[in-house]
Amino acid sequence: MCVGTPSSETGEVDLSYIFKTAEEIGEIIKEKEEFHIVLIRSTSMPGTVDKYAEIVEAKSGKKRKKDFDIASNPEFLREGNAVNDFYNPPYTLLGCECESSEKTVRRMYSFLECPFILTSIRTAEMLKYVNNTFHALKVDFANEISRFCKKKNIDSREVIDIFIMDRKLNISEYYLRPGFAFGGSCLPKDVKALSYEGKKMGINMPVIYNIMNSNELQIEWAFQTIIKEKATNVGVFGISFKNGTDDLRESPAILLVEKLLGKGKNVYIYDENVHLANIIGTNKEFVEKEIKHISTLLESDPLKMLEKVDVVVIANRDNAYREIVNNLNKKEMIIIDLVNLFPEKKRSKNYRGIGW
């Protein structure tokens, strides 16, 4: 099923063509005796497959998973290259929660050599929006850089050619993991400097100008996630901007702690790498001038800290925190993971992530 899903006037996706087919299919399968599978290939918002199945159930009087099934199977074709893309997709993606339809669909695609990825229906529905929004972001990013380069008399084609040669950090999975805000002495400084220079030259680069805003919103999002727990005593694991370092400059965890203190929380901090006596240079200057009050919250014993808190926030990715938390026998404590230190954990009564 691959009917159009155009934009309505507000930008909202118009799913009416999809749901029209649900009614038609419901009507047609009324009399059908064999199991019927519908794969939704249209790009449609998470939740569409479930609503589709409800319509088919209502129209046909049949039961989902017993008499028929609806699954999400987004297509990754580009216009003008569709046949080639059909035979050479990056992967076959199936969002399906019914074993027998999964088997049938696997068999149907067995002629393709690419990986077959089975996931939940909502994850599959989400994927196409993530892909296309990222592609759009890439286009606009490259174009904003090109406008900046042109003003500076630099050939942006050469800049981007060299930029994409870096497959370790630039064109890679690096920096693409959901988690906490960025910080440190380079990223914020350089994004701010490029934005300042762009504005000075009168260039409009809204994507780049909003990077710092988006980063601050992620700190606010972490703060809101924590205060929702209504706990008074909060422990924070990791205060430096990155695990394995004691660099506190522009650390988003510090801004988060400031917000928690402002809300009247008792905050305790433990960081494997931050020992005030060893801090030197501009980092030391920063601690003494800007965050002396925060440095007094540092704890030297993580287990003692955990005894005092109801919520523990993981703010950088150090395996030492993982071990400490895993070995702890304190059932009522809530872990809020900002950095995916526990990739195997699902959201539960005692565990939540910043975006999962």
Ligand X SMILES: NC(=O)c1ccc[n+]([C@@H]2O[C@H](COP(=O)([O-])OP(=O)(O)OC[C@H]3O[C@@H](n4cnc5c(N)ncnc54)[C@H](O)[C@@H]3O)[C@@H](O)[C@H]2O)c1
Interface contacts to ligand X, rule CB under 6 A = 2-5, 17, 20-21, 24, 42-43, 75, 77-79
Closest distance of CB 34 from ligand X, Å: 21
The catalytic position among 96, 98, 114, 186 is: 186
All residues at 6 or more sequence positions from 307 whose CB lies less than 8 Å from its CB, including other chains: 330
Nearest to 317 by CA among 240, 216, 255: 240
Instruction: Name the residue type at position 296.
Output: T
Nearest to 266 by CA among 232, 291, 300, 237: 232
Q: What angle do CA 57, 62, 67 make, to 5 degrees?
A: 115
Closest distance of CB 41 from ligand X, Å: 6
Closest distance of CB 55 from ligand X, Å: 13
CA distance 25 to 1: 10
All residues at 6 or more sequence positions from 237 whose CB lies less than 8 Å from its CB, including other chains: 270, 271, 302, 312, 313, 314, 315, 316, 318, 321, 324, 325
Closest distance of CB 23 from ligand X, Å: 9
Q: Give the nearer residue to ligand X in terms of CB position, either 128 or 317.
A: 128
Q: Is 186 among the catalytic positions?
A: yes
Nearest to 324 by CA among 339, 305, 343, 347: 305
Closest distance of CB 2 from ligand X, Å: 5
Q: Give the nearer residue to ligand X in terms of CB position, either 43 or 156.
A: 43
Other Cβ atoms closer than 10 A to 156: 18
Q: Give the nearer residue to ligand X in terms of CB position, either 104 or 131.
A: 131
All residues at 6 or more sequence positions from 247 whose CB lies less than 8 Å from its CB, including other chains: 184, 185, 240, 241, 283
Closest distance of CB 103 from ligand X, Å: 25
* Distances, alpha carbon 277 to alpha carbons 140, 244, 267, 293, 322, in Å: 46, 17, 21, 16, 25
Nearest residue to ligand X on Cβ basis = 4
* Distances, alpha carbon 296 to alpha carbons 132, 270, 299, in Å: 47, 11, 8
Q: Give the nearer residue to ligand X in terms of CB position, either 89 or 355.
A: 89
Q: Give the nearer residue to ligand X in terms of CB position, either 17 or 209.
A: 17
SS3 92: strand
Other Cβ atoms closer than 10 A to 8: 10
Q: Give the nearer residue to ligand X in terms of CB position, either 43 or 251.
A: 43
Residues noted as catalytic: 186
